[in-house]
Amino acid sequence: MWWKNPKLKEFRAICPDNILDVLVRAYAVVEVGGLTGTGPERGRNFEQLFYALCDRFGVHLSERAGARSVAGQYSASGLAHEVDAATRGISLNTYWELKHLTSSLPKNELLIFNGKGLDFLQGESQQFAKTPLMRFLLSGTNIRDECRYYGMLWGITVIEPGRLPLPLIYEAVARNCVQGLSDADIEAVHFRVPWAFRPLQSVISELSTWCNNGYEKTRCGSTGIRLVREIAAIQEQIGRDILDAIEDQFPDWVNEIAQEVWSETGGW
């Protein structure tokens, strides 16, 4: 499939292949929808589906629902933060929030998720704190624009229906899957989009430079505010063009991936 194509040499890798496999399939699941259950039951079904995806594609979860740590590290405050999923690796740790509500995701869910990530990072040993921590929020419903901006500002990748996730927009261009994009569009995806899903440590480093009058160029303040709106426009406009181009090459690929997940995990 398209995300297995070789990457152009000028594009850097953003995540391991097995994480990318899960991202693609998680997007297909929320795009197609149809999750059964109501209230807490639907949330549990969503979690179990995600865990089955990770098991199927070799993503070892160090934490699952009910855990109180991320990559084996506990919060600095001592608060027993609930964790939906996390992975631990030599070069990358990931932290996942899984939400399948009946309405748009409230802003507090993002605020709490971000705060928990900061508390876990503060509680890590220095050795673990050096390992990039990437955060993902998988939502079965859409979120508001302001929440999308917030996620980008803090490096949180949001996977929601109706919008190709930013890492997949990057991968589609990096793997030369889209013909007809202008040079300006390719450059925007190449150099702007990855900033929106950077590790938490990069966010903190940039903020520190900004707050301490560092001379290194940062994307904070008014620059960051403009940038998140540019990236949101890229996701909505260029992302739609990319989806159409992929659909031309691989007709009905989203439904096929969702059906594959259904078959391999026993449905949802």
Where is pLDDT greater, at 148 or 103? 148
* Percentage of residues of the chain with pLDDT beyond 70: 98
The pLDDT assigned to 104 comes to 83
pLDDT over 80 at 109, yes or no? yes
In this prediction, residue 264 has a pLDDT band, given cuts at 50, 70 and 90, of confident
pTM of the model: 0.94
Q: Is the pLDDT of residue 61 over 90?
A: yes
Amino acid 43: pLDDT: 85
Q: What is the dihedral angle through the alpha carbons of 198, 199, 200, 206, rounded to the nearest 10 degrees?
A: -60
The answer to whether 134 and 117 are in contact (CB under 8 A) is no
Q: Is the pLDDT of residue 240 over 90?
A: yes
Determine the Cα–Cα distance for residues 260 and 267; give it in Å rounded to an integer.
10
- Position 128 scores a pLDDT of 85
pLDDT in tens, 169-205: 999 999 999 988 999 999 999 999 999 999 999 999 9
pLDDT for position 268:
60
Are the beta carbons of 190 and 7 closer than 8 angstroms? no
Split at pLDDT 50, 70, 90, the class of 217 is confident
Q: What is the rounded CA–CA span in Å between residue 116 and residue 188?
A: 31
Q: Is the pLDDT of residue 267 over 70?
A: no
- The pLDDT tens digits of the residues spanning 72-86 come to 999 999 999 999 999
Q: Exposed/middle/buried for 163, CB within 10 Å: 0-12, 13-18, 19+?
A: buried
Alpha-carbon distance of 237 to 263, in angstroms, equals 32
Per the CB < 8 A criterion, the answer to whether 130 and 92 are in contact is: no
The CA-CA-CA angle for residues 254, 100, 87, to 5°, reads 80
pLDDT of residue 263: 86
- The model's confidence at residue 133, banded by pLDDT at 50, 70 and 90, is very high
Question: Using CA atoms, how far apart are residues 74 and 48, in angstroms rounded to an integer?
Answer: 23
